[in-house]
Amino acid sequence: MNLKVKIKDFEFENPLMNAAGVNCYTIDELEEIRNSKAASFVTKTCTLNTRQGNLEPRYYENELGSINSMGLPNLGIDYYLNYLESLDGTYFLSVTEMNTENIHKILEKINESSFNGLVELNLSCPNIEGKPQIAYDFKTTDKLLADIFKYFKKDLGVKLPPYFDLAHFDIMANILNKYPIRFVNSINSIGNAIIIDENDTVVIKPKNGFGGLGGEYIKPTALANVNAFYRRLNKDIKIIGTGGVNTGRDVYEHILCGAYMVQIGTRLQKEKSKVFERILNELKEIMKEKNYNSLDEFRGKLKTL
């Protein structure tokens, strides 16, 4: 049985990796994933300089998922770049910045480095005050990508927040199809949710308790975003599926919707890196039952009525 995945000229043993932000802040955490059954990892989204992030509590989980407003705590691009440059194998470096000018600065730094993996540009980054995050500002996204591909020569994909309107899928896909993007990772957490505890109080401190939702709560939205982009993007832009993966069945559904790699966030936070072996075994069981020997045999084969 062959679980291999290819994105551009990069080949992975299987589709599983962590989602940015979970268990990927320090080299120790990244080594734990690298030494697990995961086929790759992505770093915590990093910025030009280290960041403390928001006041705690800034992460909370329950049986249905998680909510977070971490505020982008990270050890800075040099920390992750130096580590990645020392590794063989193919890994993902997640980056963003607080404005487009600094996004170019961090990407130019990567461009000049000997990093040979894939960059995951997190487009959930804030924009200028009063405007929505970049990925919800289509004109800014288009201009940013046009400017990036004037100089950026390495392999880059984008991490997107969920969209909820079919017209937004059309508009975003038309933009993305214009550029040599290697992958689209859908979805980031569903923004600005609230969870309330038994004391009539929100569960996280930043932003009056408003935070990004992850886990089982978001799987239907994640699957729809994966399939919407799978239907609309050029075939050489691969889809990475993220959101609501707790079992091998969830991985199977993401791949049915068109995903190549599948990222695990909230469940990894709960179960730690042994989760990759469990979910890989569950996926193999499903493929055996259905007599599939490779992911290509069922990727994108979601049936409609």
Please, which residue, 134 or 224, has the CB nearer to ligand YRO?
Answer: 134
CA distances from 174 to 77, 227, 247, 248 (A): 31, 15, 33, 32
Please, which residue, 220 or 231, has the CB nearer to ligand YRO?
Answer: 220
Compute the least distance from the CB of residue 69 to ligand YRO, in Å.
5
Quick one: 43 exposed, middle or buried, by C-beta within 10 A (0-12, 13-18, 19+)? buried
Please, which residue, 69 or 269, has the CB nearer to ligand YRO?
Answer: 69
Compute the least distance from the CB of residue 123 to ligand YRO, in Å.
9
Please, which residue, 110 or 123, has the CB nearer to ligand YRO?
Answer: 123
How far apart CA 221 and CA 227 sit, in angstroms, is 10
Compute the least distance from the CB of residue 31 to ligand YRO, in Å.
21
The b/e string for 241-276 (b: 16+ C-beta within 10 A; e otherwise) is bbbbbbbbebbbbbbbbbbbbbbbbbbbbeeebebb
Alpha helices in the chain (DSSP H): 27-34, 77-85, 100-111, 138-148, 166-176, 219-232, 248-256, 266-271, 275-289
Give me the residues that bind ligand YRO (CB under 6 A), please. Answer: 21, 45, 68-72, 96, 122, 124-126, 188-189, 212
Compute the least distance from the CB of residue 122 to ligand YRO, in Å.
5
Catalytic site includes residue 257: no
Alpha helices in 56-137 (DSSP H): 77-85, 100-111
The catalytically annotated residue of 24, 46, 125, 257 is 125
Which residues are catalytically annotated? 125
